Amino acid sequence: MKITGPDFRNLAGLKELAKRDRNRALKEACQEFEALFLYQLLKEMRRCVPESGFWPKSLARDLYEDLYYQEVSREVARRGTGLGQILYQQLVKRYGGKK
């Protein structure tokens, strides 16, 4: 079984929000992108760490690590690294809208 990472359940909610408040929806989409980027970064960083053998490799461990990385990446993106904000500013410049 392959672990896929963050899901897009919130996409329908973003589409509805965009109908009411386009800039807020754009900000949330940028934050989601930042979370997805951080998630991928964490997963790749984990691959660089050698296995110690303390926790045996298993599907349960893979699921736990995946969920952990999802939550960590969402929390870090919520607090902001700056990537989401920069992306938002560039998209607003390119496609217009109020800041």
Whether residue 83 contacts residue 21, with contact meaning beta carbons closer than 8 Å, is answered with: no
Note the Cα 13 to chain centre separation in Å.
16
User: Tokens at residue 68, please?
Assistant: 């952990």
pLDDT computed for residue 16 by the predictor:
85
Per-residue pLDDT of the chain (99 residues; tens, 9 = 90+): 444 555 556 677 888 888 898 888 888 889 889 999 999 999 999 888 888 878 788 899 889 999 999 999 989 998 989 999 999 999 998 876 654
Q: How far apart are the first and last CA of the chain?
A: 43
pTM: 0.76
All structural domains of the chain with their residue ranges: 11-95
pLDDT computed for residue 97 by the predictor:
62
